[in-house]
């Protein structure tokens, strides 16, 4: 039996929101999958990570967001 070891690294980054960006467009840009459910989950992960800044609203230009993803 073969064994495989999978190593994932949490990558934490900051993103400065550009004019015209939405939380959805940012999630589509950084989410590694293209399944709409994955993108929606990633979008809500960004919201949760930055909830103190944005709450339930959308983002605005100049805002600094934290984005985490596994690679």
Residue 58: per-residue pLDDT: 92
Give the tens place of pLDDT for each residue, 19-33. 999 999 999 999 988
Q: Where are the domains of the chain?
A: 34-64
Place of tokens 């293209």: 34
CB 62 within 8 A of CB 14: no
C-alpha 29/C-alpha 42 separation (Å) is 10
How high is the pLDDT of residue 37?
96
Q: Sign of the C-alpha dihedral, residues 28, 33, 39, 45?
A: negative
pTM here?
0.86
* Distance from C-alpha of 52 to C-alpha of 26, rounded to nearest angstrom: 18
Give pLDDT, residue 46: 97
């Amino acid at each position: 039996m073969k064994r495989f070891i999978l190593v994932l690294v949490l990558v934490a980054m900051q993103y400065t929101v550009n004019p015209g960006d939405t939380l959805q467009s940012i999630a589509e840009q950084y989410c590694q999958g293209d399944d709409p459910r994955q993108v929606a989950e990633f979008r809500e992960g960004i919201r949760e990570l930055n909830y103190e800044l944005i709450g339930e609203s959308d983002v605005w230009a100049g805002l600094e967001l934290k984005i985490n993803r596994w690679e």
